[in-house]
């Protein structure tokens, strides 16, 4: 379990006589519960001294602590470089289920009635091998959706509207991963620039849903109604068979660096909640001004209790942890793969069956830890992203110009087969969440349309956002009327989608990539809450072809278990739910050692056969051709294979319904830089 001796109740516990609130602070000299008027959240109606008890948990009771009541905490304590007590500030309860903003940098906690009728709704419990994650922004996904009623667009209810659900299930997604929905605020710098934090990676509280994603009706009714709308969304998505994964930001808070707004943690116990040096300087491994110290039992418990709330009271299926390395940093500041917090979350019986996905890096020393999280965790695989982008984009660009010699196909094949050089045998291919794009960076369309980032609209003179995009504009920077360039861009997108959805591991598709959404070359659009980042739903013929391709690929993944092994295979052994893999060259002969790394060889045939455990036997053949010349490929002769049925060809603008049949030894025409998938029989 998580290292924690804290057992006292935290947050508000309602009773028949009102309620009790518990707040942790080891450094405070006194805490005071402030209760505010039902009509005016700035009008103090009662102040109740809080009593320090076991575990440094301070408590107070009041008959006024009933649903809808606004409240806050005042704290006093010692002075010194590591403390930031201010008796004039009214602070948020870190466990508040509801939060109401009064004005800039001032909020009130709100008591919330959590009652909700879940009916017969249940978590889908989709196996990771069958999971296809769709990363989306609650507001941006439906803000422009014409089939969603205007009053529901951009809301939790809009995400759960029948038209939205029909789109997601029709595409074949099995899980929706939502950008942060914890109550968040925009950074002071953005506010001064007239911009906003659109993505939401700046949490104010870890238990309250962000109210601006609720309908106006729910917002007017208060935090309780906002929470009910969120739960209603989860219920309807579950009834459609869709899991809900939340992107959670426990690594830092919206209090920013010293001098930033004090809303809760800094005012309650700055010395213990945040990593800092003896002189009070924050140790910032997040790049956001502060870093939560998870060696402190109170911080570790905060994460655990927050996850329990969302997983149990709100029925959320899983979590993607932003900058997750922070959670594993020990007393010496170094990342510890044996972290008691990381293991403790897995061992918590109240979190049984919950999916844990790490963003396996932060910006501190030793912050890149891809492959180094405990068994039971999955991870965003940036090595997969980079290798696939290089193979289909930068290598092609370099080959055109002669600027560099393209790499061979060996590294690409390793990623295609599940990244066994990154994840241990114990963890297997499902530890890898494969992605080519995410909210952060170029969209798929921009990857094939821009060589450089175009972030001037962010107000930082194009200095923000990575310069290492591994993108290729294919001959023109940005939009062009050149039909040949547009055609090769679309094929490049189909190759990238095909690689993502036919690779071993757990695929994650970014909303809009299935039809080529653009952000006009902005690769860091976190501060744009407008048409630049909202998903557009107008369609043309090219868009329809892309969407049909993504839908077809997801269906092929679902229908062919050889594409989605649970375990790594072992040479000479039969491993249940693994795939036996054989590799052939353009001539249909077994790949030699020199073939794997030779820059002259960028064509291979990947024959994968499932090892049945819960599904019928299945075998596929995937041809990958990474050169801008057409080629003829000889299909391999393999024991037990009498023929091949072509299922998909990335050269096709729209997936073909034709099921062309071939025999071992036949030659197949393969278009420049393309892929073909066959079922072997």
Tell me the pLDDT tens digit for each residue of 116-126: 999 999 999 99
Give the Cα separation of 676 and 219 in Å (integer): 50
Burial (CB < 10 A; 0-12, 13-18, 19+), residue 61, is middle
**pLDDT for the residue numbered 6:** 72
313 catalytically annotated: no
pLDDT at position 5: 54
Instruction: Average the pLDDT over 161-169 and give the result.
Output: 98
Average pLDDT over every residue of 47-75: 97
Domain with residue 636: its CATH number is: 2.60.40.1180
- What DSSP state is assigned to residue 649? E
As for how many domains the chain has, the answer is 3
Q: Helices then strands (H, E): number in the chain?
A: 16, 25
For 428-464, what is each residue's pLDDT tens digit? 999 999 999 999 999 999 999 999 999 999 999 999 9
* Inside any domain, residue 397: yes
Do 596 and 488 share a structural domain?
Answer: no
pLDDT digits (tens, 9 = 90+) for 378-400: 999 999 999 999 999 999 999 99
pLDDT class of 600 with cuts at 50, 70, 90: confident
Residue predicted with more confidence, 401 or 108: 108
Residue with tokens 């297997």: 428
Distance CA(46)–CA(74), nearest Å, equals 12
pLDDT, averaged across the chain:
96
**113-118: long-range contacts, CB 8 A cutoff, minimum separation 24:** 113/14, 113/67, 113/68, 113/224, 114/227, 114/313, 116/228, 116/231, 116/232, 118/231, 118/235, 118/315
CATH of residue 17's domain is 2.60.40.10
Rounded Cα–Cα distance for residues 214 and 230 (Å): 8
Choosing from 93, 177, 229, 322, the catalytic residue is: 322
515 belongs to a structural domain: yes
Distance (Å, rounded) from C-alpha 250 to C-alpha 269? Answer: 17
| pLDDT confidence band for 103 (50 / 70 / 90) | confident
> What is the CB neighbour count within 10 angstroms for residue 643?
14
Domain presence at residue 204: yes
Per-residue pLDDT for 2 more than 70? no
pLDDT in the model for residue 403? 75
Q: Do 553 and 661 belong to one domain?
A: no
The conformation of residue 595, written as its DSSP 8-state character, comes to: H
In the set 129, 317, 355, 359, the catalytic residue is 359
Mean pLDDT throughout 85-92?
97
**Of residues 540 and 273, which shows the higher confidence score?**
273
Q: Which domain holds residue 647?
A: 570-680
Whether 488 and 396 share a structural domain: yes
Residue 327 in any domain: the answer is no
Distances (CA, A) of 594 to 333, 451, 591: 43, 32, 8
Q: Counting beta carbons within 10 angstroms of the beta carbon of residue 313, is it exposed (0 to 12), middle (13 to 18) or buried (19 or more)? A: middle
Q: Determine whether 322 is an active site residue.
A: yes
Q: Are residues 155 and 214 in the same domain?
A: yes
Task: Give CA–CA dist 268/258, Å, rounded.
Answer: 14
Q: What is the pTM of this model?
A: 0.97
Do 78 and 136 belong together in one domain? Answer: no
Residue 4 belongs to a domain? no
Choosing from 81, 110, 139, the residue where a domain stops is 110
- 149 and 26 in one domain? no
Position 238 in a domain: yes
Dihedral through CA 222, CA 223, CA 228, CA 233, nearest 10? 110
The reply to whether 420 and 516 lie within a common domain is yes
3-state secondary structure of 229: helix
Q: End of a domain among 110, 139, 169? A: 110
Q: Using the 3D structure, point to which of 110, 142, 175 is the last residue of a domain.
A: 110
CA pair distance 185, 102, nearest whole angstrom: 13
For residue 3, the model assigns a pLDDT of 41
Domain assignment present for residue 2? The answer is no
The span from the CA of 484 to the CA of 207, in Å, is 51
User: Do 387 and 450 belong together in one domain?
Assistant: yes
Burial classification of residue 333, based on how many CB atoms lie within 10 Å of its CB (0-12 exposed, 13-18 middle, 19 or more buried):
middle
pLDDT of 4 strictly over 60: no
Does one domain contain both 318 and 429? yes
- The CATH number that applies at residue 458 is 3.20.20.80
Q: Is the pLDDT of residue 499 over 80?
A: yes
Same domain for 136 and 102: no
Cα–Cα distance for residue pair 485/560, rounded to 1 Å:
33
1 pLDDT above the threshold of 80 = no
pLDDT of res. 299: 98
351 domain residue, yes or no = no
Same domain? 507 vs 631: no
Residue 83 CB burial class (10 angstroms; 0-12, 13-18, ≥19): middle
Residues near 304 by beta carbon (within 8 Å), at least 6 away in sequence: 2, 4, 344, 345, 348, 351
Q: Judge if 594 and 647 occupy the same domain.
A: yes
CA neighbours closer than 13 Å in the CB half-sphere of residue 667: 8
């Amino acid at each position: 379990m998580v290292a924690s001796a804290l057992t006292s109740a935290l947050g508000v516990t309602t009773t028949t006589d009102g309620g009790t609130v518990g707040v942790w602070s080891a450094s405070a000299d006194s805490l005071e519960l402030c209760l505010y008027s039902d009509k005016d959240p700035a009008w103090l109606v009662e102040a109740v001294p809080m009593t320090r008890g076991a575990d440094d948990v301070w408590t107070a009771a009041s008959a006024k602590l009933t649903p809808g009541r606004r409240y806050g905490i005042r704290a006093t304590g010692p002075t010194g470089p590591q403390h930031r007590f201010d008796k004039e500030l009214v602070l948020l309860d870190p466990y508040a289920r509801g939060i109401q903003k009064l004005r800039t940098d001032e909020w009130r906690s709100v008591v919330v009635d959590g009652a909700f009728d879940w009916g017969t709704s249940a978590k889908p419990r989709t196996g990771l091998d069958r999971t296809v994650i769709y990363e989306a922004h609650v507001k941006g996904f439906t803000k422009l959706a014409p089939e969603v009623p205007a009053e529901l667009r951009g809301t939790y209810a809009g995400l759960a509207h029948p038209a939205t659900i029909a789109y997601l299930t029709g595409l074949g997604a099995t899980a929706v991963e939502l950008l942060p929905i914890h109550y968040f605020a925009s950074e002071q710098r953005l506010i001064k620039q007239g911009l906003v934090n659109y993505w939401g990676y700046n949490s104010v509280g870890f238990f309250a849903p962000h109210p601006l994603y609720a309908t106006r009706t729910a917002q007017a009714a208060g935090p309780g109604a906002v929470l009910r709308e969120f739960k209603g969304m989860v219920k309807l998505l579950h009834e459609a068979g869709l899991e809900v994964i939340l992107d959670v930001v426990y690594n830092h808070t919206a209090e920013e660096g010293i001098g930033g707004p004090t809303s809760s943690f800094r005012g309650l116990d700055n010395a213990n909640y945040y990593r800092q040096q003896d002189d009070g300087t924050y140790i910032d491994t997040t790049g956001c001004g502060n870093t939560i110290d998870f060696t402190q039992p109170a911080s570790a418990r905060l994460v655990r209790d927050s996850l329990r709330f969302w997983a149990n009271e709100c029925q959320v299926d899983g979590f993607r942890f932003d900058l997750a390395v922070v959670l594993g940093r020990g007393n010496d500041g170094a990342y510890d793969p044996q972290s008691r917090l990381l293991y403790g979350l897995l061992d918590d019986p109240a979190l049984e069956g919950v999916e844990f996905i790490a963003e396996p890096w932060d910006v501190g020393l030793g912050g890149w830890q891809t492959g180094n999280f405990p068994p039971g965790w999955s991870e965003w695989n940036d090595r997969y992203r980079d290798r696939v982008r290089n193979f289909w984009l930068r290598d092609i660009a370099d080959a055109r110009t002669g600027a560099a010699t393209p790499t061979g196909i060996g590294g690409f094949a390793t990623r295609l087969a599940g990244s066994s050089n990154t994840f241990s045998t114990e963890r297997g291919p499902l530890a890898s969440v494969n992605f080519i794009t995410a909210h952060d960076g170029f969209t798929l369309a921009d990857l094939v349309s821009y060589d450089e980032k175009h972030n001037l609209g962010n107000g930082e003179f194009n200095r923000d956002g990575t310069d290492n995009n591994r993108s290729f504009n294919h001959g023109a920077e940005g939009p062009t009327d050149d039909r040949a360039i547009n055609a090769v861009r679309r094929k490049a997108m189909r190759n990238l989608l095909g690689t993502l959805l036919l690779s071993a591991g757990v695929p994650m598709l970014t909303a809009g990539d299935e039809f080529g959404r653009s952000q006009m070359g902005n690769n860091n659009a976190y501060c744009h809450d407008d048409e630049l980042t909202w998903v557009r739903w107008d369609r043309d013929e090219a868009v329809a072809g892309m969407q049909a391709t993504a839908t077809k690929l997801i269906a092929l993944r679902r229908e062919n278990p050889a594409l989605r092994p649970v375990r790594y295979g072992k040479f000479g052994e039969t491993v249940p739910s693994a795939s036996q893999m054989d590799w052939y060259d353009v001539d249909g002969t077994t790949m030699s050692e020199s073939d794997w790394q030779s820059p002259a060889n960028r064509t291979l045939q990947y024959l994968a056969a499932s090892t049945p455990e819960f599904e019928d036997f299945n075998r596929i053949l995937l041809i990958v051709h990474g050169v801008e010349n057409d080629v003829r490929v000889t299909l391999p002769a393999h024991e037990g294979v009498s023929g091949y049925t072509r299922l998909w060809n990335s050269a096709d603008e729209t997936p073909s319904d034709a099921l062309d049949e071939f025999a071992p030894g036949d030659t197949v025409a393969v278009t420049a830089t393309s892929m073909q998938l066959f079922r072997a029989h």
